[in-house]
Structure 1
Amino acid sequence: MTDEAARDPAALIATMGQHARAAATVLATAPTHAKAAALNAAATAMRDDRAQILAANRDDVARAQAAQLSGAMLDRLTLTPARIEGVATGLEAVAALPDPVGTIIDRSERPNGLRLSRVRVPLGVVGIIYESRPNVTADAGALAMMAGNAVILRGGSEASASNRALHACLLRGLEAAGLPAAAIQLVPTTDRAAVGAMLAAAGLIDIIIPRGGKGLVERVQADARVPVLAHLDGINHLYVDRAADPEMARAIALNAKLRRTGVCGATETLLIDRAFANPRPILSALIDGGCALRGTPDVCALEPRAVPATAEDWGTEYLDAILSVALVDGVEDAMRHIAAHGSHHTDAIVTEDAATAERFLAEVDSAIVAWNASTQFADGGEFGLGAEIGIATGRLHARGPVALEGLTTYKWQVRGNGQTRA
């Protein structure tokens, strides 16, 4: 890297983009076993370097605490031995997945004898801009590379030491497998101008995927000159139907909200059918579990420890132990509420009525819709995808957990025997 590139964020990203483009050309035809070997070697390196990774993460957490970051941000930032093992296991899981590159999606033959096929190919160079979660360094690097893409990672300054430690393990994996180091690059500066340079890098970066808070995603979507794959909010709903099993509803509500409050799959609004037999045990269990409830007047009448909800609460992604709660008049009213206030991320119904459940699954327009399951299953690993690069809530290219297949596109291959068009 030249001195100019080191000083100038635009020059830096241009240089990284050129190196990534060259690496992407190699990765597009790299054999599956080489890509898998790189990830398995990186997983071993993470286990070997666990002490160093934890030490780096402690430095990041200490700085974040001094800067008074929120509890949700601290939870996302913090690494533990179990979380590092989870990251390493995730790399191995991705390595074991079927390689989508080269998969034939479909074939056909035209009346004139032309044989057509659609074949999966990598996207090319993927840019990931993310905050807080150092595990994204490993997950995004692994998924992009396994799908045949080069990736440029720009993590948040609050996780800079952790990101560097994890990235070093990925580089050792690439080296062990004989793949180019530029396949997975980490932007070495925390200068915010580097983000702007990535967003303007049309021709060098093929797609940008932001992972972070609403402010980050809004900026990326507003300023990017490169296609963006993103979700803005995770305003997820859990609807307890009149035909719900009470104990199942209580258990799912507790898990959906409180298992980890800072993840994008956490439930932010609980809707309960007015005809449901007894909502009080669910409300009491949530408050006893440490969750603050913001409810409609009838909810506050049922549970005096709840506080009145405001209009803003229904559109708020708390990422904290806070839950909006409303009583609704059946599934149709619940779906109206979700349509008005949801973010098309993840919504769930608890009911023993199969017809009501199937209606909910069919009519709720979200990337993930669940029946009798926690919204916290909104995760690529839980979907058997090994890991995810994010949850996409749009309608183009990919939707829901974006893993290997979501990081590919396709091209048409046409095979003929001399046909010419009249």
Structure 2
Amino acid sequence: MSLITQIANDTANAAKTLAILDEATKNKVLAAMAAAIRDNQDEIVKVNTKEVAEGKQAGLDDAMLDRLTLTPARIEDMAAGIETIIELADPVGQERSIMERPNGLQINKMRVPLGVVCMIYEARPNVTADAGALCFKSGNGVILRGGKEALQTSMAIAGLLQQVLREHDLPEALISVIPDPDRALMQELMEQVDTIDVIIPRGGEGLIRYVTDNSKVPVIQHFKGVCHLYVDKDADLDMALELLINGKTQRTGVCNALEGLVVHQAIAGDFLPRVNKMCQEKGVTVHANEAAASYFDNADVIGDDEFGEEYLGLEIAIRVVKDYDEALSHIHKFGSHHTEVICTQNMDAAKHFQRAVDASAVMINASSRFNDGSQLGLGAEIGIATTKLHAYGPMGLESLTTEKYVVTGNGQIRE
């Protein structure tokens, strides 16, 4: 039996024991996991610092290095994220009544774990803790296949979680790690149809397309974030500027950062000079259509077919549109179903925008940066799904379960 098959089998077998574990025990284990991460912060930083230095030598771009880097504050966020999960209700075993049939059968639905979740990710060592904790509380075994850039950091974090599992007499295979980033092993992992229930890739466009194209196991895509802010003719321009600054410059290498700004022509003359000043102060490179470029000192003029880039840096694409309908058309064409924002004081337009735009989160007068599991009250997230089966948006505990029918009768037989 190969290493991959053995790991998949061990995780599937371990998941059977977790599916019936009570919530109090789960929360006790999660508290110990959070404490282990917090208590071993220095060791995690030491390993991570070495990998970040190696990443710089290997020429990783700034966005990748940002995702790879774990500071004490980010490690504290990991621990706090696990503690937030403790406060959330365990979805496993929850029932809801569907109906009582005329023959007396009571039809209910019960939430159950997916089974075994496989995470394939690159340069995101925090995923190790987030996925491990979320899958544990939602009753799933998890197999973690991190990229070579963050392998040692991921294994250090996973080792702490596995130690906690052993201390509580639980199989460490509940949180399994592929110790070798070899692409051939990843391909074998994606063929484990008998033991892995779903694969979730997180990383660059190339990784997600490769997994989607080659996996025999169902895939939930967590695709790129080409997120837009549309500033309507009825916008509060002070608010719009703050939303732009936060969405574009607070943290550039994340999927919920803004990559596009769409501005109604009626307010472009008042708003874009302020945007120009902000971009100069913050060092933001501007790519713009001709109508927008005239308001900027050093804009790169681009054609209508050149929008839709995920820059993951201090760059943004700006377009002036003639009206609301053209703004919608732009977002429909160039958005990536991740996060879209409208800034307006016209609530009719705002509500129409929320209904019309197809994205996992649609914001009215709020930063794109809020499309995040912790910010939406889910605790940590396993990722932000940009496909709709079976989840859309940040995937928390409930998204890691499904429902089965449970039927109660008193001897009924079908005629």
SS in 2 for 1:365: coil
SS in 1 for 2:340: strand
| Structure 1 residues 48 and 346, CA gap change in structure 2 (3 angstroms) | same
Supply the distance in 2 between the matched residues of 1:156 and 1:312 (Cα, whole angstroms). 33
1:385 matched residue in structure 2: 378
Contact map agreement 2:227 2:259 (CA 8 A) in 1: yes
Deviation at 1:37, TM superposition (A): 1.5
Letter in 1 for 2:97: D
Supply the distance in 2 between the matched residues of 1:278 and 1:162 (Cα, whole angstroms). 44
Deviation at 1:310, TM superposition (A): 4.3
1:297 matched residue in structure 2: 290
Unaligned runs of 5+ in 2: none
Deviation at 1:286, TM superposition (A): 2.5
Supply the distance in 2 between the matched residues of 1:21 and 1:100 (Cα, whole angstroms). 20
Instruction: Give the TM-score, by structure 1 length.
Output: 0.96
Of residues 193-202 and 213-222 in structure 1, the stretch that sits farther from structure 2 once superposed is 193-202
1:360-399 alignment runs, 5 A limit: 360-399=353-392
Letter in 1 for 2:216: R
Matched, 1:169 2:160: yes
Supply the distance in 2 between the matched residues of 1:304 and 1:198 (Cα, whole angstroms). 51
Q: 2:107 aligns with which of 112, 116, 119?
A: 116
Q: 2:27 aligns with which of 33, 36, 42?
A: 36
1:45 matched residue in structure 2: 36
Deviation at 1:38, TM superposition (A): 1.6
| Structure 1 residues 150 and 105, CA gap change in structure 2 (3 angstroms) | same
Supply the distance in 2 between the matched residues of 1:29 and 1:283 (Cα, whole angstroms). 57
Deviation at 1:287, TM superposition (A): 3.0
Matched, 1:145 2:136: yes
2:212 matched residue in structure 1: 221
1:357 matched residue in structure 2: 350
Deviation at 1:164, TM superposition (A): 1.3
SS in 2 for 1:239: strand
Instruction: Give the TM-score, by structure 2 length.
Output: 0.97
Contact map agreement 1:314 1:324 (CA 8 A) in 2: yes
Matched, 1:282 2:282: no
Supply the distance in 2 between the matched residues of 1:313 and 1:173 (Cα, whole angstroms). 50
Q: 2:414 aligns with which of 403, 412, 421?
A: 421
Letter in 1 for 2:257: A
Deviation at 1:46, TM superposition (A): 1.1
Matched, 1:126 2:137: no
Supply the distance in 1 between the matched residues of 2:400 and 2:276 (Cα, whole angstroms). 41
Deviation at 1:282, TM superposition (A): 2.1
Give identity over the alignment, percent. 44
1:88 matched residue in structure 2: 79
Contact map agreement 1:128 1:210 (CA 8 A) in 2: yes
Letter in 2 for 1:333: E
Matched, 1:181 2:181: no
| Structure 1 residues 353 and 197, CA gap change in structure 2 (3 angstroms) | same
Deviation at 1:341, TM superposition (A): 1.0
Matched, 1:348 2:341: yes
Q: 1:157 aligns with which of 148, 153, 156?
A: 148
Deviation at 1:312, TM superposition (A): 5.8
Supply the distance in 1 between the matched residues of 2:169 and 2:221 (Cα, whole angstroms). 32
Letter in 2 for 1:199: M
Deviation at 1:335, TM superposition (A): 0.7
Deviation at 1:33, TM superposition (A): 1.4
Supply the distance in 1 between the matched residues of 2:160 and 2:305 (Cα, whole angstroms). 43
1:130-157 Cα deviation digits (max 9, x unpaired): 0111000000111111100000000010
SS in 2 for 1:302: coil
2:189 matched residue in structure 1: 198
Deviation at 1:279, TM superposition (A): 2.3
Letter in 2 for 1:260: R
Q: 2:253 aligns with which of 255, 262, 268?
A: 262
Aligned CA-pair RMSD: 1.1
Matched, 1:235 2:235: no
Supply the distance in 1 between the matched residues of 2:332 and 2:61 (Cα, whole angstroms). 29
Letter in 2 for 1:178: D
Matched, 1:404 2:397: yes
Supply the distance in 2 between the matched residues of 1:192 and 1:312 (Cα, whole angstroms). 34
